Amino acid sequence: MVEKEEAGGGISEEEAAQYDRQIRLWGLEAQKRLRASRVLLVGLKGLGAEIAKNLILAGVKGLTMLDHEQVTPEDPGAQFLIRTGSVGRNRAEASLERAQNLNPMVDVKVDTEDIEKKPESFFTQFDAVCLTCCSRDVIVKVDQICHKNSIKFFTGDVFGYHGYTFANLGEHEFVEEKTKVAKVSQGVEDGPDTKRAKLDSSETTMVKKKVVFCPVKEALEVDWSSEKAKAALKRTTSDYFLLQELFPRIVERVYAQRHPRSTERTHAKMLIPFLTKEKPGFLGEMAVSRSGVGKLQALSQRDPPHNNFFFFDGMKGNGIVECLGPK
């Protein structure tokens, strides 16, 4: 396990060697912020395992993996942290050994209590909370707690070939590297050579910025009745509506409108479990977990984070960032 940071917030030689590649990528200060972050991860199925791996390898200070469910016969095939022969064990406890072995310098813990039983005070010990495999009510409740206590909040899930992540970072400050524009001396003509000199400048500077996120409840309750919202609706990915409580009826109604024959309405009902959690979505889990880079960006405060949804469509093999909310 990692010992406490040295005075002055430095990192040890061992850590510098372990994280050399990413320090070169996003800088020492960003790595120090990661190193000081404690994260709660809820849900240790396929997506949760991928997120845990990314956070542990990145070098957060501590990761608490919370899951009250038991390992099912299907879990070892979709979740690489669980060893075969673990059926019946708690899913978080069965994931601990392999998770810790990924990076001994990260303090990895497990919690086997149901997330719904946790009081508000439980969440305040973390810098970031990430939910998977949770109901809409739980997502909204935990997001409200995090928003109130200035805790970075993420949630995500996979539905067959479709997946999403959502981030609420509150008022989030970050730094972004920008190329300096070369200053031209007075009296120099503004010709082609001067313009090329401005563009070819190799000097960079770090610019501090801030972005404001909205709670997940507001993001899921967009009023689509206004003319502006109706125009935006045409451009909004249909995956957004996977998150709505009435999604099964929406899918059936939309499919029936497009395919009015009664036999095809039956196909609409067959489509519902395919797009929900009744079928595994390994491709979606991999892709959505890759969007976990946004979690690392948020914790390191380096570069602009995704604001606020990321949707992945495994049938098309692409993803899209959408900013949805009250404004």
pLDDT digits (tens, 9 = 90+) for 282-293: 444 544 454 444
| Model pTM score | 0.75
pLDDT at 138: 93
d(CA 169, CA 149): 11
- Is 80 exceeded by the pLDDT of residue 318? yes
At residue 251 the predicted structure's pLDDT band, cuts being 50, 70 and 90, is very low
pLDDT at 327: 63
Strand partners, 62: 38, 107
Q: At which residue do the structure tokens 């406890």 appear?
A: 93
pLDDT at 293: 46
d(CA 151, CA 149): 6
Contact criterion met (CB below 8 Å) for 296 and 284: no
Contact criterion met (CB below 8 Å) for 41 and 153: no
At residue 56 the predicted structure's pLDDT band, cuts being 50, 70 and 90, is very high
d(CA 123, CA 145): 8
Question: What's the whole-number average pLDDT of the chain?
Answer: 77
d(CA 87, CA 82): 9
The enclosing H or E element of 245 equals: none
Q: What is the mean predicted confidence (pLDDT) over 298-326?
A: 76
- Is 60 exceeded by the pLDDT of residue 272? no
pLDDT digits (tens, 9 = 90+) for 22-47: 888 778 888 888 899 999 999 999 99
Whether the CA torsion 297, 211, 129, 16 is positive or negative: it is positive
Q: Which residues of 105-138 are buried (b: 16+ CB within 10 A; e: fewer)?
A: bbebebbeeebeebeeebbeebbbbbbbbbeeeb
Q: At which residue do the structure tokens 């469509």 appear?
A: 313
pLDDT at 268: 35
pLDDT digits (tens, 9 = 90+) for 239-248: 787 666 534 4
Contact criterion met (CB below 8 Å) for 255 and 123: no
At residue 139 the predicted structure's pLDDT band, cuts being 50, 70 and 90, is very high
Phi, psi of 204 (to 5 degrees): -125, 160
Selected residue with higher pLDDT from 69 and 260? 69
- Is 70 exceeded by the pLDDT of residue 198? no
pLDDT at 302: 55
pLDDT at 303: 56
Selected residue with higher pLDDT from 292 and 139? 139
Q: 62-66 and 38-42 as β-strands: parallel, antiparallel, unpaired?
A: parallel
Q: What is the mean predicted confidence (pLDDT) over 184-202?
A: 56
Q: What is the mean predicted confidence (pLDDT) over 140-156?
A: 95
Contact criterion met (CB below 8 Å) for 59 and 105: yes
